[in-house]
Amino acid sequence: MRIRWRILGSDWKEVETASTTVEELMKELSLSREEYIASKGGKVLTLDSKIEDGDEITFLPVVSGG
Amino acid sequence: MAKCSICGEEAVYCARYEGRCYCKEHFIRWFESRLRKTIRKFNFFGKKEHIIVAVSGGKDSLAALYYLSKLSKKVPGWKITALLIDEGIEGYRNVTKEDFMRIVSQLGVDYHIVELKREVGLSLDEMVSLSKERGLPYRPCTFCGVMRRYYLNYYGKKLGGTVLVTAHNLDDVVQTFLLDIFRGDVKKIPRLGPVTGVSQHEGFIKRVKLFYEVPEKEVALYSILVGVYPQTFVECPYARLSPRWKIREFLNNMEEQYPGTKYALLRSLLSLVRSLTSEERPMKCVVCGEPSSTPICRTCQLKIELGILEHEPLPPPSQGSGEHQRNKTTSEGSPSREG
């Protein structure tokens, strides 16, 4: 399946993925679970949330910028 | 899909270190109840306080301001003022200041902004350039950390504050703990307690670390759920130059593999803070009169080295007296974040 993702403040990217959960996707994208919170349509997702074809997922940085 | 361990609704967070999940409503309740416990346990506040909240416009300090503003509605003797130090970092602080202004306006709290350019005569960007020109050995975080701490204390007192709240979280504290150990700077460890300041010297305002027992990820989630998470994410252009960045990555990797690592470090730190007696004996800076562990405080010393403050050299230190040694030059200030 194909999804769109971005880190807040960066551009959207597309990825073809076999990941079925947020946790698997973060691992695939090399994003630390400690450093990002996933959201979809303004709603916070947990690590075991399912992802589906066409999803648009934004990762919100946990780390402050300074 | 994880369910809330309390009500069975869709969860927004699972705390792996305690094996429980929370929906939005129960996460906020759980988070705030832990803050109340921290406040009671470490005796952060009395019934009558003028609380100065150090706010940068980042998610931690905005969350601290939101929570204390909410709590203050139940405590008639509390007054809240937000204090922002604008270092003058182009493309960063001017952006986070917009989030600061949006939230103070929404919450209706008093605020005060201190500009380093106005206080020191130079913005942080200008200090960094001048430092390079003069061949000084400091990273940008040294100027930022040292001067931010100085002016938070100075203006905390000047505004009539009784306590200064910083939004240091569990991650910040254990990162600094490891940094101090890696540098052999063990004497600084007592500064990492939940409450510092007034007991050390009359010139210090009491300082408390509100999120001392809360991981950074939970502070971020709270700020998202209560609507104060910054609308634009910008990173300080100097942040990755600091050794703290590496320590943060290391600790986050450890926490992913071994949940509970950060809490274990905090327990070790608290045991050390209790057993270590601070060797620091603050005195008054001979230049500005503010508290300092050396005859000339770090802020005045940096100004002298930058050539923007003139002062007669001090006599050489007496042998073997650590207290009278001139400040040793380190490559980075200690915990510099106020949120």
Whether residues B33 and B55 share a domain: the answer is no
Whether residues B117 and B224 share a domain: the answer is yes
**Domain for residue B72, yes or no?**
yes
Q: List the domain range (segments joined by +) for residue B108.
A: 44-324
Whether residues B17 and B137 share a domain: the answer is no
Please tell me which of the candidates B12, B238, B339 has its beta carbon nearest to residue A44. B12
Predicted local confidence at residue B314, as pLDDT? 65
> CA of B189: how far to CAs of B88, B237, B267, B299, B321, in Å?
30, 28, 13, 21, 20
Cβ–Cβ gap A9/B11 under 8 Å: no
Cβ–Cβ gap B217/A46 under 8 Å: no
Whether residues B18 and B163 share a domain: the answer is no
Tell me the nearest-neighbour CA distance from A15 into chain B, angstroms.
23
| CB-based contacts of B303-307 (< 8 A; 24+ apart in sequence) | B303/B120, B305/B134, B305/B136, B306/B122, B306/B127, B306/B130, B306/B131, B306/B134, B306/B136, B307/B130, B307/B134
**Domain for residue A66, yes or no?**
no
Whether residues B26 and B124 share a domain: the answer is no
Predicted local confidence at residue B208, as pLDDT? 96
State the complex-level ipTM.
0.95
Cβ atoms of B177 and B189 closer than 8 Å: yes
Whether residues B25 and B161 share a domain: the answer is no
Whether residues B212 and B225 share a domain: the answer is yes
Whether residues B169 and B311 share a domain: the answer is yes
Predicted local confidence at residue B201, as pLDDT? 73
Tell me the nearest-neighbour CA distance from B141 into chain A, angstroms.
9
Whether residues B83 and B184 share a domain: the answer is yes
Q: List the domain range (segments joined by +) for residue A14.
A: 2-61
Kindly report the CATH number assigned to the domain that includes residue B262.
3.40.50.620
Domain count along chain A? 1
Distance CA B335, CA B264 (A): 20
Cβ atoms of B277 and B190 closer than 8 Å: yes
Whether residues B161 and B135 share a domain: the answer is yes
Cβ–Cβ gap A37/B224 under 8 Å: yes
Domain count along chain B? 2
Whether residues B74 and B191 share a domain: the answer is yes
**Domain for residue A49, yes or no?**
yes
Cβ–Cβ gap B58/A64 under 8 Å: yes
Interface test with B, best of A32, A34, A35 (most B CBs within 10 A): A34
Predicted local confidence at residue B305, as pLDDT? 94
Kindly report the CATH number assigned to the domain that includes residue A39.
3.10.20.90
**Domain for residue B195, yes or no?**
yes
Point out which residues pair with A37 in neighbouring strands. Answer: A60
Please tell me which of the candidates B217, B232, B337 has its beta carbon nearest to residue A66. B337
**Domain for residue B332, yes or no?**
no
Whether residues B170 and B302 share a domain: the answer is yes
Tens place of pLDDT per residue across chain B (339 aa):
899 999 999 999 999 888 999 999 999 999 999 999 999 999 999 999 999 999 988 899 999 999 999 999 999 999 999 999 999 998 888 888 988 999 999 999 999 999 999 999 999 999 999 999 999 999 898 999 999 999 999 999 999 999 999 999 999 999 999 999 999 988 889 889 999 876 667 789 999 999 999 999 999 999 999 999 987 777 777 777 788 889 999 999 999 999 899 999 999 999 998 887 666 678 899 999 999 988 999 999 999 999 999 887 666 555 443 333 333 333 344 334 433
**Domain for residue B68, yes or no?**
yes
**Domain for residue A54, yes or no?**
yes
Per CB-CB distance under 8 Å, the chain A contacts of B12 are 44, 46
Cβ atoms of A63 and A35 closer than 8 Å: yes
Cβ atoms of B7 and B26 closer than 8 Å: yes
Interface test with A, best of B252, B253, B255, B258 (most A CBs within 10 A): B252
Query: What is the gyration radius of the CA atoms in chain A, in angstroms?
Result: 11
Quote the tokens at residue B177: 């703990």
